[in-house]
Amino acid sequence: MSTPPGPRTPAPAAPATLAQRKRQLVATELTETALQLFAHQGFEAVTVDEIATSVGVSKRTFFRYFASKEDVVVQFLAGMGADMRAELAARPAGEPPSVALLCAVSVPLAACEDHAERTLPVVRLILRTPALLARFLEHQAGWREELAEELAARLGVDPAAGLYPRLAAGVALTAFDTVLRRWSEEPSDTDPLTLVGGAFELLAPALDPARS
């Protein structure tokens, strides 16, 4: 079973200012507190007022960071699309699409596996709460367009002119979504990277001939 090459090492970011660090600390505390409340009481039972009070900030302060309580959870996965696109863009130009796409979707799956104690409850919450699942699917639709654009650029084609870029991106994200759901149901028996590697072994024949 294939194992994807390791992700690229990102360039070091510029040092954050004191104000940025303070904002990040507040955002992190709001997120962690909200996720704990959701896990213990259920998503629908927790209010914005309760989250803000638990952190010791005002409701107004909460809305400086998040548009709604749904955003507290969804932002947990919002960076996945950017990570996948960045990884796809960093893959060698001559690499088969199936390998490049496997590496792209493996980045967030590896992060989930490496931090399972924190990520698994959130993934389950998203997949089992209709309002959050709807938001997650909206994000996936956006990721599909981003991956299609990046894949089209790699292949030197117009993403709007042919079916392949969007089809290939959609297939890759279907594999990602399927593996994520399987992992949330059977985490002790499931290795996300092994599962997604196996999925792409099945998908590669359909993905790679399109380059010719």
Residues 146 and 108 grouped into a single domain? yes
Integer Cα distance of 48 and 169 in angstroms: 36
What's the pLDDT at 157? 85
Domain contains 181 = yes
**Global pTM?**
0.79
Range of the domain at 23: 18-66
Q: What is the mean pLDDT of each run of 10 residues along the chain (212 residues)?
A: 49 68 88 87 92 94 92 78 93 93 96 86 88 89 94 86 90 96 86 94 86 46
Nearest CA among 68, 162, 149 for reference residue 104 = 149
CATH number at residue 36: 1.10.10.60
Domain contains 125 = yes
Residues 55 and 90 grouped into a single domain? no
What's the pLDDT at 15? 66
Domain contains 13 = no
Task: Choose the final residue of a domain: 66, 83, 99.
Answer: 66
What letter represents residue 80's amino acid? M
Domain contains 141 = yes
What's the pLDDT at 182? 94
Domain count, the chain: 2
Nearest CA among 135, 174, 114, 156 for reference residue 43 = 135
Residues 137 and 49 grouped into a single domain? no
Please count the other Cβ atoms lying within 10 Å of the Cβ belonging to residue 27: 15
Residues 197 and 136 grouped into a single domain? yes
Domain contains 154 = yes
